Amino acid sequence: MREEFTDLSARTSMSTRRARAARGGLRTRLQEIPGLYDLHLRFVSVHSSEEGLVGKLTLTGVGYERGMAFVRHYLESLRWTP
């Protein structure tokens, strides 16, 4: 798990990223799928006590590098418009 502060359009937010090996199989014994991950992102703005932004993103069954690149792009693309 990785926690860090991120700027969202000049507003500070706290984000948590977590990656785990993807598992396959419905109603069968769950097995790891080599090279694929489930990525989870949660973030909350911490710039104000009166207003804020809370978000969650889940990517399932993706390659680690491409998934993390998507998470970075997602965070960089967020814009705060009160």
* Cα 19 from Cα 39, distance rounded (Å): 5
Q: How far is CA 6 from the centre of its chain?
A: 12
| Beta-carbon-side half-sphere exposure of residue 33 (alpha carbons within 13 Å) | 12
- pTM > 0.85: no
Q: How far is CA 46 from the centre of its chain?
A: 17
Residue 5: predicted pLDDT: 61
With a cut of 70, list the residues of the chain below it in pLDDT.
1-13, 24-31, 80-82
Residue 70: predicted pLDDT: 93
Q: What is the 3-state secondary structure (H, E, C) of 11-22?
A: EEEEEEEEEEEE
Residue 65: predicted pLDDT: 92
Residue 6: predicted pLDDT: 63
CB 72 within 8 A of CB 2: no
